[in-house]
Amino acid sequence: METQQNALIKELDILAVIDTDYVKFNYPLQSKDPDNPIEIDKNCLYIIVPSINQISGPDVSFKARLWDHILFRGISISQNSDDAVIIYNINYGSGKRLFHNFIYEGVTREHAVVPDPSSSNGLPADTTAITFSSLDTKVKGRGTGTIDIYFALYIIDPKDSNNQILHSYYSCSSAITIK
């Protein structure tokens, strides 16, 4: 019976894309304390749920079953190449409690592919070690609720364009409906 139930469990990837220019322009105050982030509106947030072919603004609705596995990732709109985003926590906000606690997972690919900077089109690809991270959880229920998304925003160091430095910690909310 447990094997049959596990066969029904799906893995759903969710990608939060954050418009860092919007954040920096509209929220000049900064916090260097991850436990005390600057609360911001959700207009900087775009959510992509590839398994259901959905791209939305800050709020999203999708079908999922109890115990489906959610992998929540984040990135800046510049693909973390200029400004970079690391989502470091997701908490229950309000409404229906849709998820179990989120847990950080990191996976290092020793030979992940990256574009070759010396070629005209990035090919053939080079490889390098990259750690990919996600905040993982399982679906707990159906309905509508909010989650609070906590992220660190890094910017290009004005003294050395090869480095990214912490700009500030932020948090925003997203309404999620699970059908």
> If you write DSSP's letter for every residue of 20-67 in order, what string do you get?
HHHHHHH-------TTSPEE--GGGEEEEEGGGTEEESS-EEE---TT
Residue 1 confidence (pLDDT): 43
Please, which residues have CB within 8 angstroms of residue 10's CB and are 6 or more apart in sequence? 51, 64, 65, 68, 69
Order the strands of the 103-114 sheet from edge to edge. Answer: 54-56, 45-49, 11-18, 69-76, 126-138, 103-114
Q: What is the pLDDT of residue 47?
A: 94
What count of Cα atoms within 13 Å lies in the side-chain half-sphere of residue 140? 13
DSSP one-letter code for 81 = S
pTM score of the predicted model: 0.91
Tell me the C-alpha distance between 29 and 44, whole Å. Answer: 16
pLDDT, one tens digit for every residue, the chain (179 residues) = 445 555 688 999 999 999 999 999 999 999 999 999 999 999 999 999 876 767 788 899 998 999 999 999 999 999 999 999 999 999 999 999 999 999 999 999 999 999 999 999 999 999 999 999 999 999 999 999 999 999 999 999 999 999 999 999 999 999 999 99
Give the model's pLDDT for residue 7. Answer: 63
Tokens of 91: 């908490």
Q: Could you give phi then psi for residue 69, rounded to 5 degrees?
A: -90, 125
70 within 8 A of 135, measured Cβ to Cβ: no
CB atoms within 10 A of CB 23: 25
Instruction: Find out whether 69 and 11 touch, Cβ atoms under 8 Å.
Output: yes
Helices (H) and strands (E) in the chain, counts: 2, 11
User: Whole-angstrom distance between the N-terminal and C-terminal Cα of the chain?
Assistant: 24
Query: Cβ distance 162 to 82 under 8 Å?
Result: no
